[in-house]
Structure 1
């Protein structure tokens, strides 16, 4: 499966299917961006499918960002599952 990533300033648009193998590419881009910037917005409104490992990876990325005084915001359909997981783990 494939995921397409486009960026406008600090907003990353993800389109397609997100899974544990292609999320590595997304994670690398976000980590590189956060090295030079304080915050990033991930728009996942056009993500058709996301496996549980990817949700876990996003939660871990979110945690790492908080630990480094960085900020990740999520927008789009499907973010509720991620935010629920973040709340379950007392991250937010």
Structure 2
């Protein structure tokens, strides 16, 4: 399944899979948005699958936003894998 990005009430809603097949275009798309908007929020409630490259893409976008003094937030319950990855990083 491809990744769809919808904007509703100022929040970007992701729907589909955030995997190796979709991360490159995902990063390019949001890097452009981060450079235009100070506060970007992404809702992952409808993300079905996220692999290691998807998690890395989110981390990349967070780093890009931080370098630009912007905010990139990830909200929603979405895929459990992302929270497991962040917990493992925080526990180190």
TM-score normalised over the length of structure 1? 0.80
Q: Which structure 2 residue ranges, 5 or more long, are not aligned? A: none
Aligned counterpart for 1:87 among listed residues 63, 76, 90: 90
How many pairs does the alignment contain? 89
User: What is the rounded CA distance, in whole Å, between the counterparts of 2:20 and 2:60 in structure 1?
Assistant: 13
Kindly indicate which of the two structures has a greater share of residues assigned to helix. 2
Aligned equivalents of 2:38, 2:85: Cα separation in 1: 21
1:66 aligns with 2:66: yes
Offset, 1:9: 5.3
| 1:7 match | 7
5+ residue gaps, structure 1: none
Alpha-carbon RMSD across the aligned residues, in angstroms, is 2.1
